[in-house]
Amino acid sequence: MALTLGGGPLTTRPPEAVNYRIDGPPHRLFLHDFPRRVRALFGGEVVLDSDRARLLHESNLLPQLYVPTEDVRTDLLQPTSHSTHCPFKGDAAYHSVRAGDRIAENAVWHYPRPTESAPWLEGLVALYWGSMDAWFDEDEEVFGHIRDPYHRFDVRSTGRHVRVLAGDVVVAESRRAKLLSETGLPNRYYLPREDVRTELLEPSATHTVCPYKGTASYASLRVGERRLPDAAWSYPEPFDGALAIADRLCFLSDDLTTEIDGEPL
């Protein structure tokens, strides 16, 4: 499981079925070395280039990448008056990034005087992921956020009887699903399009990015007069590790029922 989400040991409510107790504050921080070179680009400039990055795991949050100040183009940074306070890390000072005629407001932060419980944050800076144009893990572009080394997913073929219903209407029915199990998330069933009533689907403009699986494209579902927005999604061109679910459809909506071997999920 992920360390800081989904019931992991560093969440504010760690799992109970263990034979240990963590002696420490309920909000936990864990910093460790990131093993590869990372780069961030903005406005045609390399803002960050480091093979000394650290990954901070913090209770109930996604991991955050920090790098030494020396690995950031400080000539592109402009200090601002913005500041925030974290009771666990300290008072953060912010900089904007300027590259040519483009500026990313308050995109960079650091803790000049971190708390006594997090002194190792001194000399490290972090960047808001979405403020940069592109991020690279070695030479591969990364989307969404940096990948958590404690997060994983597995895809398995299953012959279980999967049905998706909108009321009494069967939207999809299959014994050829791919079952995707992902850290901290419920199992998802990806069905071949041949087993889905695709005439009920309407393309949506919605897209989301998963750093582990790729870019998802959504579709709304129309059953009679009812329209269920973004009730289905697929990965037309998933990343290498998720090729088994390529172009298959998965369903999720409060107005849908998914049955597995006759039992509702």
Cα→Cα distances 194→58, 172, 248, 250, Å:
43, 9, 9, 13
Looking at residue 137, what is its pLDDT? Answer: 96
Q: What is the pTM of this model?
A: 0.86
Q: Does the pLDDT of residue 199 top 80, yes or no?
A: yes
DSSP-derived secondary structure letter, 191? B
Q: Structure tokens of 198? A: 């695709």
Do the beta carbons of residue 230 and residue 204 sit within 8 Å? yes
Q: Please indicate whether the domains covering 29-142 and 153-264 agree at the CATH topology level.
A: yes
List all residues 6 or more positions away from 162 whose beta carbon is below 8 Å from its beta carbon: 172, 173, 174, 175, 177, 189, 191, 258, 259, 260
The CA distance from 71 to 21, in Å, is 38
User: Sign of dihedral through CA atoms 70, 76, 78, 83?
Assistant: negative
Residues in the chain: 265
Predicted confidence band at 11 (pLDDT cuts at 50, 70, 90)?
Answer: confident
Residue by residue, what is the 3-state secondary structure of 140-170?
EEECCCCCCCCCCEEEEEECCCEEEEECCEE
Per domain, the residue ranges of the chain are 29-142, 153-264
Which class does domain 29-142 fall in? mainly beta
**Architecture of the domain whose range is 153-264:** Beta Complex (2.170)
The total of other beta-carbon atoms located within 10 Å of residue 172's CB is 25
146-186 pLDDT, tens digit per residue, is 999 889 999 999 999 999 999 999 999 999 999 999 988 89
